[in-house]
Amino acid sequence: MNTMNPVSMHSSKAALQPVPTASGQPRRYGDFPTFPAALDYAAQGTAGFNIYSGKGELLEALPYSTLRQQAIETGLRLLGMGLQPGDRVAIVAESDGDFARIFFGCQYAGLVTAPLPLPVAFGGKEAYLSTLRGMIRSAQASAVVIPNIIEGWTDEIVNGLGLVFAGSPAELMERAVPDMPLPEIRPEALSYLQFSSGSTRFPMGVCVTQQSGMANVAAIAHDGLRVHETGDRCVSWLPLYHDMGLVGFFLTPMTCQLTVDLLPTREFARRPHVWLDLISRNRGTIAYSPSFGYELCARRPAAEDLDLSCWRVAGIGGDMIRPHILQEFADRFASAGFRAEAFVASYGMAEATLAISFVPLGSGIKTDTVDLPLLENDGVARPPADSDTPARTFVVCGQVLPGHQMEVRAPDGHVLADREVGTIYVRGPSLMSGYFRMEEETRKVLDHNGWLNTGDLGYMLNGQIVVTGRAKDLIIINGRNIWPQDLEWSAETHLAALRSRDVAVFSLEKGDHEEIVALIQCRASDPVTRESLRNEASSLFRRLHGVDVSVVLVPPRALPQTSSGKLTRAKARTMYLNGAFEPQPEMA
């Protein structure tokens, strides 16, 4: 356990009790001008954060009342070093009380926090350090806080960066608390920088102001999750350096006085059922995961005495939603009281703080199956004429949040009708003010009328959005628009040996034509089995999609992921071109 501020420690581990569910105060739904104002109110109640180990052991109980006092002291320590309001403080984000103290300390001090990833899903130490240093430079940080788990890398992380402070949370907490006033925090002030999980080569920090952050969490709490007056409790393993973890399960609960049970992200994959166990024993009602988290839980042994009947919002986001995985989870845990109606699909991105749309609660997963050739050739999403027509099933991702607008546009800018595929645009009070000190990049996505080009493709259906993929990933073959997600989805759905995130599809220019490549993780070593998988995949792509695909088998866990666990096709493509996979491809 990290060194804690003495006032947070209990006299003995045996006496440690989790912060209760009830806050004991009238519920407010994020209707505050700033995050410090929200914590001031939450501190008047009894809710807070519970920090658990990967094995489900309670390490720290941190009521918001205690957190507020510790955060103020931490903020004063930072100001006492000579930092000024507006300066950036980078925090390598472990899911613990230290992160909470430092993050909110920065909020009270008017400093801009920049949560940075832990080395969970990077291709080795060097790649991680390079990414981290790029983010610190992009944020132009004056201080960096590095948790104990990677404390030995501190010199390599900060060498030559000219920082005012670089050290562990314990070293920061050892500093004296100066006798000086805290600055006034204004709603328009910058609160934090959110680095996109995929931004590794050229990291861009999304600027979230106090008021844009508060606008999003208020809409999430009141309209998306419809937080109850009493009884709600959150349980999360999501990373606090990613928008879904930071906003969804760190900021939003605090701003509506909910208790949160936090598990370390880095240990989730080894013990996914600890998440379910905490939901069961603490009567958690709100918990989110990308599809792969539900898949891990469905395929691992679970305790027989789980009771998941309390779980009313089982959210899905952070990547393309895989309906067959969710059905597998629902079937597996129906006997434990889990209801498929609890699934809540949503859509969002860091540039909108987090959430853009939610499906109505209690409706479960709604899908739309469309004619695949029609989609690829004409950009129209209509039901297939018959069962013999190749089809693709998408998940409906809900209505745009109140106070926000969403449009699907054609390349010439006109708004498309239902079932016409185009680029998704959004506007509203939750949007970023821009990318940090990157005016040109900001102008590419945010116009003078406040509309954000999300870079996602999709179509509207009865007032709800259906996301079909990222525009930059689109493959164009002989005038057909082919989404790599479609090929990945087909392989993972129809080939029994494959799981989610086992396939990465991209295209390459090869002479005068475009070549489609599918990297497929193969766990078998037998040559016959491997060749069979390769042939099955090639045949499947030809049969369902009418395209020839070069299938390359790669080792398990070889495909790169972002810090939030999403597959990164761009990096997989680069690795392939650099000969990272065996056998090495012969490129034209």
CATH domain 368-472 topology: Luciferase; domain 3 (2.30.38)
Nearest of 62, 73, 98, 432 to residue 260 by alpha carbon:
62
Residue 4: is its pLDDT beyond 60? no
Pick one of 3.30.70.260, 3.30.300.30, 3.10.20.30, 3.30.70.1050 as the CATH number of 474-577: 3.30.300.30
Residue 29: is its pLDDT beyond 90? yes
CA–CA gap between residue 470 and residue 503 (Å, rounded): 16
Residue 451's identity, in one-letter code, is W
Look at residue 236 and give its three-state secondary structure: strand
Give residue 222's pLDDT.
Answer: 96
Residue 321's identity, in one-letter code, is I
Residue 160: is its pLDDT beyond 70? yes
Rounded to two decimals, the pTM is: 0.85
Neighbours of 108 (CB within 10 A): 24
Each residue of 103-157: pLDDT tens digit? Answer: 999 999 999 999 999 886 555 788 788 889 999 999 999 999 999 999 899 999 9
Nearest of 21, 29, 81, 73 to residue 45 by alpha carbon:
21
Give residue 584's pLDDT.
Answer: 39
CA–CA gap between residue 376 and residue 374 (Å, rounded): 6
Residue 163: phi and psi, rounded to 5, are: -90, 150
Residue 472: phi and psi, rounded to 5, are: -70, -15
Give residue 7's pLDDT.
Answer: 40
Give residue 449's pLDDT.
Answer: 95
Q: What is the mean pLDDT of residues 234-259?
A: 96
CA–CA gap between residue 235 and residue 52 (Å, rounded): 10
Cis before 583 (ω within 30): yes
Give residue 564's pLDDT.
Answer: 59
**Range scoring the smallest mean pLDDT among 86-95, 199-208, 328-337, 443-452:** 199-208
Give the CATH number of domain 28-235.
Answer: 3.40.50.12780
Each residue of 263-278: pLDDT tens digit? Answer: 999 899 899 999 999 9
Angle at the Cα of 448 from the Cα atoms of 443 and 243, rounded to 5 degrees: 60
Cβ within 8 Å of residue 287, ≥6 positions away:
234, 235, 236, 275, 279, 311, 313, 314, 315
Q: What is the mean pLDDT of the chain?
A: 90
Nearest of 351, 336, 555, 314 to residue 450 by alpha carbon:
351
DSSP state of 309: T
Give residue 202's pLDDT.
Answer: 67
Give residue 500's pLDDT.
Answer: 81
Give residue 197's pLDDT.
Answer: 52
Each residue of 434-482: pLDDT tens digit? Answer: 999 999 999 999 999 999 999 999 999 999 999 998 887 778 776 677 8
The stretches of 342-416 forming alpha helices (DSSP H) are 372-378
Can you give the residue ranges of every domain in the chain? 28-235, 368-472, 474-577
Angle at the Cα of 13 from the Cα atoms of 7 and 14, rounded to 5 degrees: 130
Nearest of 543, 568, 469, 475 to residue 515 by alpha carbon:
475
Each residue of 471-505: pLDDT tens digit? Answer: 877 787 766 778 788 888 889 888 988 988 899 99
CA–CA gap between residue 445 and residue 435 (Å, rounded): 10
Nearest of 274, 272, 280 to residue 306 by alpha carbon:
280
Q: Give per-residue burial for 338-373: e unless 16+ CB within 10 Å, then b.
A: bbeebbbbbbbbbbbbbbbbbbeeeebbbebebbbe
